[in-house]
Structure 1
Amino acid sequence: MSVGFRTGYVTSPAPLYYERFTPVADGERPVMVLVHGGCLSGACYLGTPDGRPGWAHDFAGQGYDVVVPDWPGIGRSGSVCEHALSGDLVCAALGALLEQVGRPVVLLVHSMAGPFGFRLVETHGNLIEALVAVAPGPPGNIQPEPVVVAETDSEIELAVPPARRRFPKTGSYIATEQFVQEKLIGRESTRFPRHAVDVFRAGLLPLPAPLLLQRQNLRGGQLRVERADNFAGLPILIVTGSADLEHPRDEDGATAEWLAGLGADVEYRFLADAGITGNGHMLMLEDNGREIALSIAGWLEMTAIPVPIGRR
């Protein structure tokens, strides 16, 4: 399928760069907005470390108009003053992007962007036809606060199961080799193209400390959902790999139960239940990433797309 390409910016409330892939035969399907996780940029959806086309191309090939942003303060969106950078600001800029798109969207979020997706349903639910959450971080509503093991003026050490990790309190966090291997790739992952780890590592970006510490729910700072109205009847798919160290079945299952408690129509796909084993955290980059994308597209076709626009 022939696909057009263009770039764009949201300028307020914070600069946000995005790329858009539009099938020439664009129809009535919602736009797909693919939001990256921490230490990454939208590039994680464009291609894999070993040179295969990424999810943006997979979904565009299924006829979706695909929008891929970088968070404010990340990648080509440019820098944001540290004192102003927060998950709230990221969500406000993503909300402005949804308004600029001007059509109903399927919002896909990964990892640290999970709470961003939940907040956007709360604030922009009239523009979201379905939510796909890939190994999502939990919202502050259900995420426990971490134990502070040690703290100085510049660093803080947190007990973040299954490990202890030391983070900067200002500036940015640079992914350590342990973080790359255990958190992002997953030591038990058999699906990641390990011959291309150097390429993957080279593409990682500094993660601003305010966003990182908010993700850890330090002192209760994680984003919370206060109003559940827009979750009623919303199709939501959660997808988790069996070798994702920090997303065991029960953890993402608890997020699914919380969403169902808000009235959402939730399906939780722990991939091992379908006989798909060995997937870690970076599902979009693994050797069966295209198959996972096509299964998400199949869920949308069967579950979300037939829902009349404006049902809420």
Structure 2
Amino acid sequence: MIARTALAAALLWSAVAGAAEPIHLRDMGSFHVGGRIVELSGQPVQDIVRIPGGPTSKLDPNGRYQVEQMYAQYFLVQNPKGKYPLLMWHGGGLTGATYETTPDGREGWRDMFLRKGWDVYVSDAVERGRSGFASPDIWKSQPLFLTQTDPWERFRIGPGPGSFDPDPAKRKLLPGNQFPTEAFDAFTKQIVPRWLSTDDAVLAGYVALVDKVCPCVLMTHSQGGFFGFRAAEARPDKIKAIVAVEPASAGPADKAAALKSVPILEVFGDYIEQDPRWVAYSKIDLAYLDAVRAAGGSADVIDLPKVGVKGNSHMMMMDRNNREIAELISKWLVTKGLSDP
């Protein structure tokens, strides 16, 4: 675990207006892990103007580049109740902002779990956010960029194709939807490019983080679930539990026996059947859990509609009832002996 003595009692104030109590920290900070050096040669030297109106200068792209590192930020509570750090890993096309303040300004899961006594690490995966990305001379494939339409339809905010409209008043919603739709445009400001050819680098970054700060508990979302299960298979002795929020996906069940000593919880929102992609992912996820159980492991599922929690989108950590879901997850962690009540 990272430790610094210079900051004895940092205070992180909640972004929620009217919150009565600050969050008391013993430390906070950030770092990068992993990565590699790549050297380019034979590239043409260019004449460029770095600042409008400034002089022309030479840009020589030949040389050594640091690439594929991963950024992480940590918040260590004054009086921890969690037995291990909680690592929060985001989904595809997103960053660690997923777990911070919600798009409509409410408290996110990062702060909720800090209040529950967990040391929390929030990271931006390799290729995302403050981790940075490599040039096309190093990563040959093209990045993908999401339209505003895509998450509205695919994240089960609207009822599939044709439900998004540039005019917010004309956007169609699934019945009882919990996403703060008035802040949807603010949510899409979090979207960043992602690549299809960097999975090995992303996984290497996550494993480097595990090696640095764990033993720990993983909380993953969507594509982050795929990397979470792979990292746990590579380091099963360092992962004390996995909370996988709608993982996309848990991956091949023939690897699941490696996690027979790792308690797993998967959480699913509402309207999974609305999109064949989520139906397919959930089948893979549940088959993986069956394989964990067959190997003698512990694997639980919270299907939110089946426990009376309805209307949740794929972005349930941002939904209006995100606190209710955080409570369910927290109770599960307590039952597994990973946190004091």
What is the TM-score when the length of structure 2 is the normalising length? Answer: 0.60
Bigger Rg over Cα:
2
Identity of aligned residues (%): 33
Contact 1:256–1:267 (8 Å) recurs in 2? no
Please list, as runs of the form range in 1=range in 2, the aligned pairs for 1:1-312 lying within 5 A after superposition: 1-3=23-25, 4-13=27-36, 14-26=68-80, 29-80=83-134, 81-83=138-140, 85-101=197-213, 103-141=214-252, 227-244=255-272, 245-246=274-275, 251-262=281-292, 263=295, 264-305=297-338
What is the TM-score when the length of structure 1 is the normalising length? Answer: 0.66
Matched letter for residue 121 of structure 1: A
Higher RCO (C-alpha under 8 Å, 6+ residues apart): 1
Classify 1:228/1:275 alpha carbon distance in 2 versus 1 (closer, same or farther; 3 Å): closer
Contact 1:256–1:266 (8 Å) recurs in 2? no
In the alignment of these two chains, the number of paired residues is: 222
Classify 1:287/1:127 alpha carbon distance in 2 versus 1 (closer, same or farther; 3 Å): same
Secondary structure class of the residue paired with 1:53: coil
Distance 2:314 2:308 in 1: 17
Residues 241-265 of structure 1 show CA distances to partners (whole Å, capped at 9, x for unaligned) of 1134446567525412322313331
After TM superposition, give the deviation of residue 115 of structure 1 in Å: 1.2
Contact 1:58–1:293 (8 Å) recurs in 2? yes
Over aligned residues, Cα RMSD in angstroms?
Answer: 2.2
Q: Mean alpha-carbon deviation: is it higher for 2-11 or for 104-113?
A: 2-11
| Unpaired segments ≥5 residues, structure 1 | 142-224, 307-312
Distance 2:278 2:270 in 1: 7
Contact 1:249–1:270 (8 Å) recurs in 2? no
Distance 2:250 2:230 in 1: 9
| Unpaired segments ≥5 residues, structure 2 | 1-22, 37-67, 142-196
Q: Mean alpha-carbon deviation: is it higher for 249-258 or for 2-11?
A: 249-258
After TM superposition, give the deviation of residue 140 of structure 1 in Å: 4.7
Distance 2:288 2:254 in 1: 13
Distance 1:254 1:15 in 2: 30
The answer to which structure has the higher helix fraction is: 1
